[in-house]
Structure 1
Amino acid sequence: MKNTQVTTNEPLNETACKLNQNKLSDKKKLTCTKLPQPGTSQGNCPLDGAMVSVAAITDVAHLIHGAVACTHNPWATHGSLSSGSQLYKTAFTTDFGENNVIFGGEKKLYKAILDVAQRYKPAAIFVYATCITALIGDDINSVCKLAAQKINIPVIYVNSPGFLGSKNLGNHIGNETLLKYVIGTAEPEFTTPFDINIVGEYNVAGDLWNVLPLFNKLGIRVLSKITGDARYQEICYAHRAKLNVVICSNVVLPMAQTMKELYGIPYIEESFFGIENLNHCLRNIAATLGDKYLQQRTERLIAKENAALNIALAPYRARLKGKRIILCTGGVKIWSIILAAKDLGMEVIATTNAKTTEEEKAKIKQYLGQDGIVLHEATPQALLQVLKETKADVLISGTGSKYTALKAQIPFLDVNHERHHAYAGYIGLLELARELYEALYSPVWEQVTKPAPWDEKISYFV
C-alpha cells in the first residue's frame, strides 16, 4: 500500500497547481497543505472535499469506511441535483465502533461492499477512508481490489482521511482518483467534432440545467460532466472530448492540465454566472473548437438570449440599481458574482479572496476597482466591522454567515452549496435578481431596524 504522505503530495505537484510547493521560494505552507491544529477551527476536512469532487456522480454508491458521524457533512450540505438516479443521495457507512478500532475493520468493509453491490446494483462503488480507519492501518485499497473481483464492478478507493489537511486538499485527491482509476477506462459509442467536458461544475441547485439547453441549441455535445449530474460511464470516456471547459479553476485546473498532457485535450477557464461571463464563455468555446458556422450560431444565440433577458431584467434593475454588496464566498464565484452584480446595476464594495488562484485574485482586484476592499479573513468580527464601516445593503455569502447578517440587521443571500436556487446561465441571472429584490425589499428589515417599544421615548405630559 502506497505511503499516505506520498499520495497526499501527488496532487500538489501538478504543473498547473498553485499549491505546488516546488514553486514557492519562501516555502510558505498554503492552506491546502496545512495540517490541522488542535483547538483551532479548520473548516471542512479532506473527506468532505473529496466528496464534493466525486459524490455528485449519481449512479454509484459512496461508502464511507468509518464512524457514522462522518456521513453527516457530505450528504447534509451539498446541493448537487440529479436528473436520473438518486443512489448518490443514500449515505452508506461501515459504522465503525470500538471493537472495529481494536480488531480492525477490513472484514466489515468487505462485507459492506458486497452487500451494497447486491442490494443496490450500482455502476461502481467509491470507498472513502476516514481518520479512524487510516490511523488503525486498514488496508482499504487491497479490500477494494478483492471485492471488485468478487462483484465484477469497479470498487475505487479514495484516500482522503480528515487529518491530512484542508477541504481543498480533498478536492485534489478526489480529482486525482478520477484521473487514475476512472477517466480513460471506457470508450463512447461515437464522437463528434463538438464534444466538450464541463469540469468543476457540480449542478448545485440545478445550475448546470440552466446551461445545457444553450449547448444543445448550438449543436455542442457535453460528453462528460465532471461531476454534476454525471453518470459513472460518462466519466470513463471523458478523455475523448475535444475541449475541457473549466468552471472551478482553483480545484480542477490541475485535472485539466493533466488531461491536456495525457490526452491532448485543450482547456479554457470560464464562468456561467452573469451575462458578460456567459457570453464570453460561449464565444470562447466556439472559437476554440474552430468552426466558423458554430461561431455564427453562437452570435445569433447570444443576441437573442441577451435581448430577452434585458426585457425581463428591466423592472429588477430599476429597484436594484446602486445597491451595495459585500461578498463572502470562494473561488470562481467571487469574480463571477462581481460581474453578475454589475449586470444588475449593483456594486460589490468588499469581498474575500478565499480559495482563489493568483490569476483570480488579479481579476478580483481589477473588477472591484481602486476603492474595493479585499478581506483576507472572513471571521464574523471582520464582516461585522466592514458592514458597519461601508453601510452595505446586502451580504452575499454561505449559510455560515447568515447569523452575522442578522446581527448586522441587513439582508442576506446564500450562494454556496446549501442554496435552493440556480444562479447560473441567463435564466439564473434573472433568478438572482428576483432573490436579491425579495431579500432587499422584504418588510422584515423595516421592522427589525425600528427601536423596540421599551426603548422609545414616551411622553407622559401633553
Structure 2
Amino acid sequence: MSLLRAKIQDVFNEPGCEKNRGKDAKARKVGCSRPLTPGAAAGGCAFDGAKIVLQPITDVAHLVHGPLACEGNSWDNRGAASSGPTLWRTSFTTDLTELDVVMGQGERKLFKGIREIKEAYGPPAIFVYPTCVTALIGDDIEAVCQRAAEKFGLAVVPVNAPGFAGSKNLGNKLAGEALLDHVIGTAEPDDPGPYDINILGEFNLSGEFWLVKPLLDRLGIRVRACIPGDARYFDIACAHRARAAMVVCSTALINLARKMDERWGIPFFEGSFYGITDTSDALRNIAELLVKQGADPEILGRTEVLISEEEAIAWKKLAAYRPRLAGKRVLLNTGGVKSWSVVHALMEIGIEIVGTSVKKSTVEDKERIKQILKDDNHIFEQMAARELYAMLSEHKADILLSGGRTQFVALKAKTPWLDINQERQHPYAGYDGMVELVRQIDLAIQNPIWCQVREPAPWDCQPAVGEELPRTKSENVTLHAVQEFSGTTAADFGEC
C-alpha cells in the first residue's frame, strides 16, 4: 500500500501539466482528481481506468484478481478494434469468494490462474489487475507476479490500480506507470529507423487509427507503437526506440509521454486527428519533430504534397453537405480532446456550436476551446440532464453529439442524437473520418422521423363536443375509396 501511495503522489506531481505546475507544493500533492464519494457514481474507478488503457493490447492476457463482478463490469467497455489477435476479448478472473478471503487463498489462486493461462494460451505476457478486495486483504501482487515470471518464463505485469485508489483518470495514468516500470524498454527492435514514432492515447475506436495509418505509411513513417489501440506487447516493449511521439489524449497518458522524453529523449506534442485542419497540422508536426531528430528534411515537402492532395479530396466530398448543414446548431456533451477537436472540425464546414462540455478536459483543452469559439458562454463545466433537456426541447440545438448516457435525454426532447464517444459504430478520425462524421450528422438531422415524432399525438387533439374530428390526408383517401366501393354491385366483379 505504501508503494501505491507513493506512485499516486508521483502521478499527481505532473510537470507536463501546465495547471499542475502553477500550484504550490501542498496543492500539487492533492492532485487534480476529485475525491470519490462512497456509494456515488464517479464515472469509473482507478481499476476501470487502468483496464481501459491496457485492454486494447490485443495479444496479452488480462487477468483480474478479485471477485467475478469486477471483471464483468469492465470487460469490453471500449469499442477498440484489433487487426489480428483476439486474446484480449477473453475474460480472465481469479473469481475470489468469501471463503478464499477468509482462508487467505488469494495469492495461491492468483498463481494458479497465471499457470493455467500460460498452459492454455501461451501469451507473450499476462497483465494482473488487483481490485479493492485483494488490495484491502493485503495480497502481495508484485511478489506473485515476479515469482510467476521466473517460474513460467513470460512477462507477468502487475497493474497496481485498485478501484479505491481514485478516479478513472488516475487509473489511466497508473496504467502508463505500469508500462514504464515493467514493459517499455524490455526488448530491442531488429530494425530501428529515423522515421519511427509512437502514438500515445489513441484507442483505435471503431478502427479509427486505420484511417490515419495509411497516411503515415505513404510518408514512410512507421508507427513503432500505438498505445494502446491495436497494440502488440513486443511493439510496446520496443517503444523506447521511437524518434518522436504524438499524444492524442493528454488526460490519460501525458505522464507516459513526459517520462519517455526524460528517459529516452523522445520529444512529443499533443495533437488531434479529428477534422481536416487538425489532421494536417498533426502530420506537419510529426514530420517537423522527425527532422529535428535527424530525419531527412525532404519529408517536409512530401508531407505538404500529401496534405494538399488529401485536403482537396476531402473538401470535394464535403461540398455536397455544406448547403444542407450550413447554420445548423450542434451541442456537444463530451469531454477531453473531443471538447475542442470536434468543435474545430465542425466549424470548418459552417456548423454553429451552441455549447460544448469541458467536464473531463485539461486546462490546455479549455484554452483551445476559448481560442476557437471566442466566447466563454458556449462552454459549460457540467450540464444536468434537466438543463440539457430544457435546452433541447426549446430547439436551441438541431442535434446533440454525446455519449450513450445522454441519448435518451435527446430522444425525450425529440432531437436528433449522434454518438461520438467510445460506443460509436463509425470511425471519425483523419480526412475520411471527417467526411463520415459530417455524413452521419446529415443523416441524423435530415431523417424524416423527426417531423413525425414532433407532430401532436391524436389523443392530444380531441375535438369539442359536437365538433367533427379533422381527418388526416390518409384518412380522406381511405374514405373516398370506401364511397366509390359502396356504389358497386356484385355484377361489377364478374365471376369469382
TMscore range, shorter length: over 0.9
- What does residue range 271-290 of structure 1 map to in structure 2 within 5 Å? 271-290=272-291
Listed one character per residue, the Cα deviations across residues 228-275 of structure 1 (whole Å, up to 9, x for unaligned) are 001000001111111011110122122111111111111011100000
Paired amino acid for 1:430 = V
Q: Secondary structure of 1:325's partner?
A: strand
Aligned equivalents of 1:241, 1:76: Cα separation in 2: 29
Listed one character per residue, the Cα deviations across residues 110-155 of structure 1 (whole Å, up to 9, x for unaligned) are 1000001110111100000111111111111111111111110000
Instruction: Single out whichever of 365-374 and 167-176 deviates more from structure 2.
Output: 365-374
Provide the residue aligned with 1:135 in structure 2: 136
- What does residue range 343-362 of structure 1 map to in structure 2 within 5 Å? 343-362=348-367
Aligned equivalents of 2:310, 2:262: Cα separation in 1: 36
- What does residue range 228-243 of structure 1 map to in structure 2 within 5 Å? 228-243=229-244
The answer (yes or no) to whether the contact 1:14–1:20 under 8 Å persists in 2 is yes
Displacement of 1:18 after TM fit? 5.4
Paired amino acid for 2:168 = K
Displacement of 1:419 after TM fit? 1.2
Aligned equivalents of 1:261, 1:76: Cα separation in 2: 33
Question: Where does the alignment leave 5 or more consecutive residues of structure 1 unmatched?
Answer: none
Q: Structure 1's 264 and 35: CA in aligned 2 closer, same or farther, altered over 3 A?
A: same
Displacement of 1:21 after TM fit? 8.7
Aligned equivalents of 2:248, 2:300: Cα separation in 1: 21
Provide the residue aligned with 1:5 in structure 2: 5
Aligned equivalents of 1:157, 1:386: Cα separation in 2: 46
Q: Secondary structure of 1:76's partner?
A: coil
Provide the residue aligned with 1:163 in structure 2: 164
Aligned equivalents of 2:321, 2:21: Cα separation in 1: 47
Q: Secondary structure of 2:27's partner?
A: coil
The answer (yes or no) to whether the contact 2:52–2:77 under 8 Å persists in 1 is no
The answer (yes or no) to whether the contact 1:199–1:245 under 8 Å persists in 2 is yes
Displacement of 1:357 after TM fit? 1.6
Aligned equivalents of 1:377, 1:365: Cα separation in 2: 16
Listed one character per residue, the Cα deviations across residues 321-377 of structure 1 (whole Å, up to 9, x for unaligned) are 111111111111111100111123212210111222211111111212226421111
Instruction: Single out whichever of 83-92 and 36-45 deviates more from structure 2.
Output: 36-45
Provide the residue aligned with 2:428 in structure 1: 423
Q: Structure 1's 408 and 202: CA in aligned 2 closer, same or farther, altered over 3 A?
A: same
Aligned equivalents of 1:35, 1:100: Cα separation in 2: 30
Aligned equivalents of 2:165, 2:379: Cα separation in 1: 29
The alignment of Structure 1 onto Structure 2 pairs a total of residues equal to 462
Q: Structure 1's 395 and 234: CA in aligned 2 closer, same or farther, altered over 3 A?
A: same
Aligned equivalents of 1:398, 1:30: Cα separation in 2: 29
Paired amino acid for 2:5 = Q
Displacement of 1:20 after TM fit? 4.6
The answer (yes or no) to whether the contact 2:199–2:227 under 8 Å persists in 1 is yes
- What does residue range 111-150 of structure 1 map to in structure 2 within 5 Å? 111-150=112-151
Provide the residue aligned with 1:314 in structure 2: 319
Listed one character per residue, the Cα deviations across residues 257-297 of structure 1 (whole Å, up to 9, x for unaligned) are 11111111110111000001001111111122224311111
Displacement of 1:8 after TM fit? 2.0
Q: Does 1:16 align with 2:16?
A: yes
Q: Does 1:66 align with 2:71?
A: no
Instruction: Single out whichever of 285-294 and 140-149 deviates more from structure 2.
Output: 285-294
Displacement of 1:72 after TM fit? 2.8
The answer (yes or no) to whether the contact 2:44–2:167 under 8 Å persists in 1 is yes
Q: Structure 1's 103 and 18: CA in aligned 2 closer, same or farther, altered over 3 A?
A: farther
Aligned equivalents of 1:24, 1:379: Cα separation in 2: 32
Q: Structure 1's 303 and 218: CA in aligned 2 closer, same or farther, altered over 3 A?
A: same
Q: Percent identity?
A: 47
Displacement of 1:386 after TM fit? 3.5
Aligned equivalents of 1:68, 1:117: Cα separation in 2: 20
Q: Structure 1's 92 and 189: CA in aligned 2 closer, same or farther, altered over 3 A?
A: same
Provide the residue aligned with 1:251 in structure 2: 252
The answer (yes or no) to whether the contact 1:321–1:344 under 8 Å persists in 2 is yes
Instruction: Single out whichever of 288-297 and 46-55 deviates more from structure 2.
Output: 288-297
The answer (yes or no) to whether the contact 2:12–2:29 under 8 Å persists in 1 is no
Paired amino acid for 2:175 = G
Q: Does 1:304 align with 2:309?
A: yes
Q: Structure 1's 103 and 35: CA in aligned 2 closer, same or farther, altered over 3 A?
A: farther
Aligned equivalents of 1:11, 1:389: Cα separation in 2: 44
Q: Structure 1's 32 and 162: CA in aligned 2 closer, same or farther, altered over 3 A?
A: farther
Provide the residue aligned with 1:191 in structure 2: 192
Provide the residue aligned with 1:342 in structure 2: 347
Q: Secondary structure of 1:409's partner?
A: coil
Instruction: Single out whichever of 367-376 and 297-306 deviates more from structure 2.
Output: 367-376
Q: Secondary structure of 2:319's partner?
A: helix
Paired amino acid for 2:467 = F
Provide the residue aligned with 1:200 in structure 2: 201
Q: Secondary structure of 1:223's partner?
A: strand
Q: Does 1:399 align with 2:404?
A: yes
Paired amino acid for 1:329 = T
Instruction: Work out which structure has the larger RCO, using CA pairs closer than 8 Å and 6 or more positions apart in sequence.
Output: 1
Q: Structure 1's 412 and 48: CA in aligned 2 closer, same or farther, altered over 3 A?
A: same
RMSD of equivalent CA atoms: 1.9
TM-score, structure 1 as length reference = 0.96
Aligned equivalents of 2:453, 2:395: Cα separation in 1: 20
Provide the residue aligned with 2:490 in structure 1: none
The answer (yes or no) to whether the contact 1:244–1:267 under 8 Å persists in 2 is yes
Match of 1:446 among 427, 432, 451: 451
Instruction: Single out whichever of 296-305 and 74-83 deviates more from structure 2.
Output: 74-83
Question: Where does the alignment leave 5 or more consecutive residues of structure 2 unmatched?
Answer: 469-496
TM-score, structure 2 as length reference = 0.89
Paired amino acid for 1:60 = V
Provide the residue aligned with 1:52 in structure 2: 52
Q: Secondary structure of 1:315's partner?
A: coil
Provide the residue aligned with 1:461 in structure 2: 467
Aligned equivalents of 1:276, 1:211: Cα separation in 2: 14
The answer (yes or no) to whether the contact 1:365–1:372 under 8 Å persists in 2 is no
Q: Structure 1's 188 and 79: CA in aligned 2 closer, same or farther, altered over 3 A?
A: same
